[in-house]
């Protein structure tokens, strides 16, 4: 087992918050196991030379830019904010969207404000915890505003009179409604993503990175996939293949002494009840849908 930093990858994830559990689950599903340190901030990778750093999500992009870690699981909103604020919008390399932590950066205004278009915010005060990203996105639309930077509780700023509108992260919209605000416009759609750093890394680390990315791809694909088994009339094969979501080449086995066949296939897209009903209507029987645990293309 190699111990030098050069032969190991360091991955940063959020210590506690909305992204923590899913990030750690993904790494564990990639076969990584960790020995926790006493301070619980650094976890040593046991079988695979990948170590974990548990930090505040806001620190992850900076740790990447400074070369303290090689990979980071973080919301695109944070990655963009830090890159724009610190590095002219560059420096981090998005490697893969992770399909969780979905939210949107929205402009919201008081419910009773008479406004239909963000262009009408010209010259107004916008409270946000994402000053660089908000300014960048409003600049692109040619709207000049005064940005009021707040670390938290952005949604109460209009009520307090410290801003006319806000630019904040929304997932369900409950917080906005509770504060008598309404969504005017979506500025940016975000989800958790895996980031690396622009520029070359050592060959050894690149090899490790490629292995980890291949495993991650397999885990992500497996979680989206289902293994479907069914029986069908031989002459319905073409129709059945068309009805299986995300399948091109199913495996086909004859059922001795009948004109029916068994079809097995990995469906790369979500399998809904509607799909199963359509398969049954096309002559399929004994339909089984199973989860896929691991996958390596």
Question: What would the two tokens of residue 138 be?
Answer: 């409003």
Binding mask 157-196 for ligand ATP (x = CB under 6 A): ------------x-x------------------x------
Q: Is 266 in the site for ligand ATP (CB under 6 A)?
A: no
Which is it for the CA torsion 265, 270, 273, 278, positive or negative?
negative
Contacting positions for Zn ion (CB under 5 A): 57-58
Which alpha helices (H) appear in 14-130, and where do they start and end? Answer: 20-29, 60-65, 76-87
Cα 13 to Cα 164: distance, rounded to the nearest angstrom: 35
Which candidate, 61, 24, 16, 62, places its Cα nearest to that of 43?
A: 24
Place of tokens 């399929």: 284
Q: Is 202 in the site for ligand ATP (CB under 6 A)?
A: no
Q: Is 218 in the site for ligand ATP (CB under 6 A)?
A: no
Among the listed ranges 70-78, 131-139, 159-167, 221-229, the one in contact with ligand ATP (CB under 6 A) is: 70-78
Among the listed ranges 28-36, 72-80, 215-223, 269-277, the one in contact with ligand ATP (CB under 6 A) is: 72-80
Half-sphere exposure of 160 (CA within 13 A, CB side): 13
Adjacent-strand bridge partners of 51: 10
Binding mask 74-103 for ligand ATP (x = CB under 6 A): -x-xx----------------------x-x
Cα 202 to Cα 63: distance, rounded to the nearest angstrom: 18
Tally of residues, the chain: 297
Q: Which is nearer to ligand ATP, 136 or 275 (CB)?
A: 136
Q: Which is nearer to ligand ATP, 103 or 108 (CB)?
A: 103
Strands of the chain, DSSP E: 9-14, 34-36, 42-45, 50-55, 71-75, 92-97, 103-110, 125-128, 146-149, 165-170, 181-190, 192-197, 226-233, 251-254, 260-267, 285-291
Report the nearest approach of ligand ATP to the CB of residue 184 (Å).
Answer: 17
Report the nearest approach of ligand ATP to the CB of residue 222 (Å).
Answer: 24
Q: Which is nearer to Zn ion, 58 or 85 (CB)?
A: 58
Q: Is 132 in the site for ligand ATP (CB under 6 A)?
A: no
Report the nearest approach of ligand ATP to the CB of residue 208 (Å).
Answer: 26
Contact footprint for ligand ATP (CB under 6 A) = 14, 17-19, 56-58, 75, 77-78, 101, 103, 169, 171, 190
């Amino acid at each position: 087992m190699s111990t030098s930093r050069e032969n190991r990858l360091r991955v940063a994830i959020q210590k506690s918050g909305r992204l923590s559990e899913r990030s750690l689950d993904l790494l564990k599903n990639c076969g990584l196991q960790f020995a926790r340190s006493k301070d619980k901030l650094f976890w040593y990778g046991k079988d695979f030379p990948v170590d974990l750093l548990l930090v505040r999500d806001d620190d992850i992009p900076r740790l990447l830019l400074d070369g303290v870690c090689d990979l980071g699981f973080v919301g695109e909103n944070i990655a963009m904010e830090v890159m724009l604020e610190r590095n002219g919008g560059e420096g981090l390399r998005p490697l893969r969207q992770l399909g969780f932590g979905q939210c949107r950066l929205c402009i919201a205004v008081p419910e009773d404000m008479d406004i239909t278009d963000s262009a009408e915010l010209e010259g107004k005060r916008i409270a946000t915890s994402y000053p660089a990203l908000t300014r960048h996105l409003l600049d692109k639309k040619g709207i000049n505003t005064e940005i009021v930077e707040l670390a938290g509780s952005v949604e109460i700023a209009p009520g307090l009179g410290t801003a006319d509108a806000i630019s904040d992260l929304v997932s369900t919209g409950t917080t906005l409604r509770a504060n008598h605000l309404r969504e005017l416009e979506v500025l940016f759609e975000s989800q958790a993503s895996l980031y690396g750093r622009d520029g070359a890394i050592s060959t050894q680390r690149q090899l490790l990175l490629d292995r980890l990315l291949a495993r991650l791809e397999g885990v992500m694909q497996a979680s989206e996939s289902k293994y479907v088994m069914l029986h069908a009339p031989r002459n319905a094969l073409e129709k059945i293949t068309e009805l299986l979501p995300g399948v091109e080449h199913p495996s086909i086995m004859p059922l001795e002494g009948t004109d029916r066949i068994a079809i097995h296939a990995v469906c790369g897209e979500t399998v809904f009840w509607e799909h199963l009903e359509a398969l049954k209507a096309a002559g399929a029987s004994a339909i089984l849908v199973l989860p896929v645990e691991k996958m390596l293309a």
